[in-house]
């Protein structure tokens, strides 16, 4: 190792107070893993800055001594993004968790990166507003921007990249820049927001975000529609989208996953391919949308459909989908959850999901398939015995088959989880010569390769 931890700690103590620096083994272990199946690794030092200037000073020390740096939110990532395989310094942003400004008239909010999604929405609710991106986990907004997070509401409101107006970013050399403005649009300069959102910490540390927020819908109606096949359910969604019905959420849960929902949530849903849907809008408009959607569902052989307007009933209905990962974990206590993540053109979704199901069954893997079918994104939830090398090998081979199948059909290796370490090997196949452009940008902004090295590219 080119640096001595004790010497670097002394330098950091000139920047931070003693309680903002930790070399404690337990603290390091907590920052050496995420929610993925990837092997953990420990950082040498964990720091807890409170300001962008402190982050700048930390990076200046790290850059001068060629020390790897990994930004860390709450560790909810799924592809090993925050695991410090090169050791070094982990920057934990939990102390930078202030909601700095809510601008009701502009539908904008300014936050620090450690603010969580639920924390923000709790405060926004007082103003009749909400933040739309819902990745499932209560992730930090800095982490969600770093991975271009998505989720169940993307079909209506878009992904994380669509919500970012401006970022404050500290570059590897300690420079602090802004990537955008508070304006609704701009034709000035290169689109730096788009560059840094999804960059997974390899270009710099996000220390402030200006985000778009929305008015809470006047009415919300949730529904559950049952179909004879995955293909029929997906084709119904395609027809709804083509008809221009403004659907708020639409999730496919396959038969195996409905079985897990019933076991975990004590429901009694028919174990058939099921769409969980939600409509947002005003009362009169929603009535028309639901009537039209019901006609379309029936055209594709919908076996049963039920809608819920009451808040408690809606929450109960969505509880099954939101808790599905925990349902699998609960049913397979000796195994580890592995969630795959590909996204394909909507026209290729039905065949992709059928392929995923057949391959899973042929390999004898335990799991189910769920999808954000409104935008072509789906996940296979696999339960893997991490002590069984053969099962691990099968799951890796399965994931690779799904990725190659998706890319061959014009899709991507990751719709929302990001690349991290788990999807790096597919970047050449997906991007070709464009990957060299990305590497050139990385080399320009981080010539010493200290920022989350050996991730993404």
**280, 248 in Cβ contact below 8 A?**
yes
- Burial bucket for residue 171 (CB in 10 Å: 0-12, 13-18, 19+): middle
| Tokens standing for residue 51 | 């300001």
CA-closest candidate to residue 68, choices 90, 39, 51: 90
Which part of the chain has CATH 3.30.465.10? 99-215
| CATH number, domain 332-429 | 3.30.70.2740
- Whole-angstrom Cα distance, residue 399 to residue 244? 34
**335, 243 in Cβ contact below 8 A?**
no
Tell me the torsion sign for CA atoms 91, 92, 97, 102: positive
Q: What is the pLDDT of residue 3?
A: 82
- Burial bucket for residue 256 (CB in 10 Å: 0-12, 13-18, 19+): middle
- HSE-CB at 357 with a 13 A cutoff on CA atoms is 19
pTM: 0.94
- Tally of residues, the chain: 457
Q: What is the DSSP string of 44-76?
A: SEEE---SHHHHHHHHHHHHHTT--EEEESSS-
H or E element, residue 317: helix 311-322
Which part of the chain has CATH 3.30.70.2740? 332-429
31: how many CB neighbours lie within 10 A of its CB?
A: 23
pLDDT in tens, 279-338: 999 988 999 999 999 999 999 999 999 999 888 989 888 888 888 988 999 999 999 999
451: how many CB neighbours lie within 10 A of its CB?
A: 26
Q: What is the pLDDT of residue 331?
A: 92
Q: What is the pLDDT of residue 246?
A: 87
Angle between helices 349-363 and 389-408 (to 10 degrees): 160
β-bridge partners, 122:
none
| CATH number, domain 5-92 | 3.30.43.10
Which part of the chain has CATH 3.30.43.10? 5-92
CA-closest candidate to residue 362, choices 403, 405, 401: 401
H or E element, residue 308: strand 304-308
Backbone angles phi, psi at 376, to 5 degrees: 85, 10
| Tokens standing for residue 89 | 């310094």
- Burial bucket for residue 289 (CB in 10 Å: 0-12, 13-18, 19+): buried
**356, 399 in Cβ contact below 8 A?**
no
**324, 252 in Cβ contact below 8 A?**
no
What are the pLDDT tens digits along the chain (457 aa)?
Answer: 578 999 999 999 999 999 999 999 999 999 999 999 899 999 999 999 999 999 999 999 999 999 999 999 999 999 999 999 999 999 999 999 999 999 999 999 999 999 999 999 999 999 999 999 999 889 999 999 999 999 999 999 999 999 999 999 999 999 999 999 999 999 999 999 999 999 999 999 999 999 999 999 999 999 999 999 999 999 999 999 999 998 999 999 999 999 999 999 889 999 999 999 999 999 889 999 999 999 999 999 999 999 998 889 898 888 888 889 889 999 999 999 999 999 999 999 999 999 999 999 999 999 999 999 999 999 999 999 999 999 999 999 999 999 999 999 999 999 999 999 999 999 999 999 999 999 999 999 999 999 999 999 9
Tell me the torsion sign for CA atoms 190, 191, 194, 197: positive
126: how many CB neighbours lie within 10 A of its CB?
A: 8
Q: What is the pLDDT of residue 406?
A: 98
Query: Is it true that domain 219-325 has CATH number 3.30.70.2190?
Result: yes
Strand runs (DSSP E) across 97-183, as ranges? 99-103, 108-111, 129-130, 164-171, 176-178
Q: What is the pLDDT of residue 317?
A: 87
| CATH architecture, range 99-215 | 2-Layer Sandwich (3.30)
Which part of the chain has CATH 3.30.70.2190? 219-325
- Burial bucket for residue 188 (CB in 10 Å: 0-12, 13-18, 19+): exposed
């Amino acid at each position: 190792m080119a640096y001595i931890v004790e010497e670097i700690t002394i330098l950091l103590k000139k920047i931070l107070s003693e309680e903002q620096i930790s070399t404690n083994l337990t603290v390091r272990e907590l920052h050496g893993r995420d929610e993925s199946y990837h092997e953990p690794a420990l950082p040498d030092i964990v720091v807890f800055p409170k300001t962008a200037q402190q982050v700048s000073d930390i990076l200046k020390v790290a850059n001068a001594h060629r020390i790897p740096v990994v930004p860390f939110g709450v560790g909810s990532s799924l592809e090993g993004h925050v695991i410090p395989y090169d050791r070094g310094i982990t920057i934990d942003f939990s102390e930078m968790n202030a909601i700095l400004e809510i601008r009701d008239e502009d539908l904008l909010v300014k936050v620090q990166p450690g603010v969580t999604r639920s924390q923000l929405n709790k405060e926004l609710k007082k103003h009749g507003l909400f933040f739309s991106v819902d990745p499932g986990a209560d992730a930090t907004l800095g982490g969600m921007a770093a991975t271009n997070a998505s989720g169940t509401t993307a079909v209506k409101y878009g992904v994380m990249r669509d919500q970012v107006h401006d970022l404050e970013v500290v570059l590897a050399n300690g420079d602090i820049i802004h990537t955008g403005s508070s304006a609704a649009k701009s034709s000035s300069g290169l689109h730096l927001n788009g560059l840094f959102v999804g960059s997974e910490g390899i270009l710099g540390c996000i220390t402030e975000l200006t985000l778009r927020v929305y008015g809470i819908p006047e009415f919300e109606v949730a529904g559950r529609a049952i179909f004879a096949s995955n293909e029929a359910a997906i084709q119904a969604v395609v027809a709804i989208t083509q008809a221009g019905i403004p659907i708020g959420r639409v999730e496919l849960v396959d038969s195996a996953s409905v079985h897990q929902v019933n076991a975990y949530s004590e429901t009694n849903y028919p174990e058939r391919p099921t769409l969980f849907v939600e409509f947002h809008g005003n009362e009169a408009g929603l009535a028309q949308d639901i009537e039209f959607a019901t006609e379309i569902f029936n055209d594709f052989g919908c076996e049963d459909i039920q809608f819920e307007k009451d808040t408690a009933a809606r929450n109960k209905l969505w509880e099954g989908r939101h808790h599905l990962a925990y349902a699998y974990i609960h049913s397979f206590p000796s195994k580890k959850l592995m969630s795959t993540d590909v996204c394909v053109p909507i026209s290729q979704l039905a065949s992709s999901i059928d392929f995923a199901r057949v391959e899973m069954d042929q390999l004898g893997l335990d799991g189910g398939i769920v999808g954000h079918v409104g935008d072509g994104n789906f996940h296979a939830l696999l339960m893997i015995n991490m002590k069984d090398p053969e099962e691990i090998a099968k799951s890796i081979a399965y994931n690779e088959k799904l990725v190659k199948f998706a890319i061959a059909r014009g899709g991507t290796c990751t719709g929302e989880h990001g690349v991290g370490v788990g999807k790096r090997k597919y970047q050449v196949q997906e991007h070709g010569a464009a990957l060299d452009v990305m590497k050139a940008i990385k080399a320009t902004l981080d010539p010493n390769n200290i920022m989350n090295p050996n991730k993404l590219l």
